[in-house]
Amino acid sequence: MQLERFRKFNTRDVYPGVKMDNDMCMTVKAGNRIFLRGQTGLDLQQRMIDPNDAAQQANQAMENARVLLEEAGSSINHVCKVTTYLTDPAYRTAVYNEVGRHLKGIPTVATGLIVKGLAMPEMKVEIDLEAVIPEEGGHKKFRLLNTGDWFGQSSIDRDSCMAINTGHEIYLRGQTGCELDGSKMYGSGFSIEAAAAQADQAMKNARTLLEEAGSSLNDVCKTRIYISDRAYREPIYQAIGRHFGNTHPCSTGLIMRGFARPDILFEIDMALTLSKGTSHQRFRTFHTDNVYRDGQQLGCRFSKAVRAGDRVYLRGQTGSNLDGDFVGDGDPAAQADQAMKNIKILLEEAGASLDDICKLSIYILHRAHRELIYGAVGKHLKGVHPCGTGLIVDGFANPRILVEIDADAVIQK
């Protein structure tokens, strides 16, 4: 299988006046998997649509996605997961209704997050879409619902589901401390105990959904753990660690500004490839209590890379080298450079290379660091042309971290 990359471009042509030299693309096709660049109010000619209207930006993002999927031999009907990033919770109803209009009758799993910022200050929304071209029999979807039926959100019309089995992957809705039928929210209030209760419920939900979809926590390759306050990190991770036991997924942890509702303290995304009797390969496994040097006892067993067939998932990489030594204190470019060096090593250990990267997600702490970080990343990926998503977030596992980079790869044969 050879990766196909559509609409290649360089960032200097997209963001005038910004000193960045990054080879990117809009779409990567890896067999029947489709990776898309995060879509915003920029149309496909890179013109910003109404900088004051979040709904129009969401409409443009979805129109872009429709065109890009069709160019890759796919369709909006093949979308499995939608992740929506908003810069203000006030935009949620309008944006979700716009997304729902484009995906009417196409239930997908979803995650919704409030972020500090996007690539350009006038961007109000960014939408990540993950699609898989169905094989014979199509995708199996579990626990269909409409967002309007949940927690008094009757003003939103958005067809969703809790899990999708494509035959090779499982896509899960982002899980919080809510009962699967929406009847109850655990962990009321803003406390350590509330955070722990929500994390425990989210993991119970995930276990139930995976069993219904024909999988288990043992198939989890990657988690993204979003927390509203670093103070909740220890109890949340301890709850997650108890449920995962010796599974050793790789993980990315981010401090996010908010979620669908103010009472949500955290959300967890999971990426799974079905093992089908052949165990995933997990590289550089470790226990957080033996490796992390921030004094917190997280009680988790993670790995730094997971290979599942031809798919490679990586732990989010920062300015810490693979021995745990922190590089570039206060220097965003040095931290990004170290993160990319780590990614190269981990991919090679898993039998892949930088050329196999399909999607790059770059999380930064300050907009002022963007040029420096992207400049450092671009030097490592000259000629590769991955698609990407870039977010400004509120924090990371450690206050010293200024950037974290996720890389998704598919090994070419």
Look at residue 30 and tell me whether its pLDDT is greater than 90: yes
Amino acid at 168: H
Task: Kindly indicate the confidence band of residue 159, based on its pLDDT and cuts at 50, 70 and 90.
Answer: very high
Task: Kindly indicate the confidence band of residue 390, based on its pLDDT and cuts at 50, 70 and 90.
Answer: very high
- State the average pLDDT over residues 102-108: 97
State phi, psi for 65 to the nearest 5 degrees. Answer: -60, -40
Fold for domain 316-413? 60s Ribosomal Protein L30; Chain: A; (3.30.1330)
Axis-axis angle for helices 54-71, 92-102 (nearest 10)? 30
Look at residue 151 and tell me whether its pLDDT is greater than 80: no
Distance CA 349, CA 360 (A): 19
Task: Kindly indicate the confidence band of residue 66, based on its pLDDT and cuts at 50, 70 and 90.
Answer: very high
pLDDT for res 192: 96
Pairing of strands 33-36, 27-30: antiparallel
Q: Where are the alpha helices (H) located in 293-397, listed in sequence order? A: 332-349, 370-380
Cβ atoms 132, 140 nearer than 8 A = no
pLDDT for res 220: 98
- State the average pLDDT over residues 167-184: 95
DSSP 8-state symbol, 39: B
Domain span(s) for CATH 3.30.1330.40 in the chain: 174-303, 316-413
Look at residue 18 and tell me whether its pLDDT is greater than 80: no
Write out pLDDT tens, residues 310-324: 999 999 999 999 999
Look at residue 150 and tell me whether its pLDDT is greater than 80: no
**107, 142, 366, 400 from 272: Cα distances, Å:** 19, 16, 31, 30
- State the average pLDDT over residues 153-171: 94
- State the average pLDDT over residues 277-305: 91
Whole-number percent of the chain with pLDDT over 70: 100
Amino acid at 98: E
- State the average pLDDT over residues 355-367: 98
Look at residue 16 and tell me whether its pLDDT is greater than 90: no
pLDDT for res 147: 87
Look at residue 152 and tell me whether its pLDDT is greater than 80: no
Axis-axis angle for helices 332-349, 370-380 (nearest 10)? 30
pLDDT for res 295: 75
pLDDT for res 296: 82
Whole-number percent of the chain with pLDDT over 90: 91
pLDDT for res 210: 98
Write out pLDDT tens, residues 321-351: 999 999 999 999 999 999 999 999 999 999 9
Q: What count of residues does the chain have?
A: 413
Amino acid at 143: R
Task: Kindly indicate the confidence band of residue 221, based on its pLDDT and cuts at 50, 70 and 90.
Answer: very high
pLDDT for res 149: 82
Axis-axis angle for helices 192-212, 233-244 (nearest 10)? 30
pLDDT for res 17: 75
Write out pLDDT tens, residues 267-287: 999 999 999 889 999 999 999
- State the average pLDDT over residues 34-38: 98
Distance CA 281, CA 1 (A): 20
Look at residue 108 and tell me whether its pLDDT is greater than 90: yes
Distance CA 340, CA 381 (A): 9
- State the average pLDDT over residues 233-260: 97
Look at residue 148 and tell me whether its pLDDT is greater than 90: no
Fold for domain 174-303? 60s Ribosomal Protein L30; Chain: A; (3.30.1330)
Look at residue 383 and tell me whether its pLDDT is greater than 90: yes
- State the average pLDDT over residues 105-123: 97
Residue 219 CA to its chain's centroid (Å): 17
Look at residue 143 and tell me whether its pLDDT is greater than 90: yes
User: In angstroms, what is the C-alpha Rg of the chain?
Assistant: 20
State phi, psi for 396 to the nearest 5 degrees. Answer: -135, -170
pLDDT for res 279: 92
Cβ atoms 393, 363 nearer than 8 A = yes
Q: Which residues contact 219 (CB under 8 A, 6 or more apart)?
A: 170, 210, 272, 273, 274, 275, 280
Q: Which residues contact 91 (CB under 8 A, 6 or more apart)?
A: 54, 55, 124, 125
- State the average pLDDT over residues 178-196: 93
pLDDT for res 291: 83
The full 3-state SS of 257-273, as one line of letters, equals: CECCCCCCCEEEEEEEE
Averaged pLDDT score across all residues of the chain:
95
Amino acid at 306: V
Looking at the whole model, is its pTM more than 0.85? yes
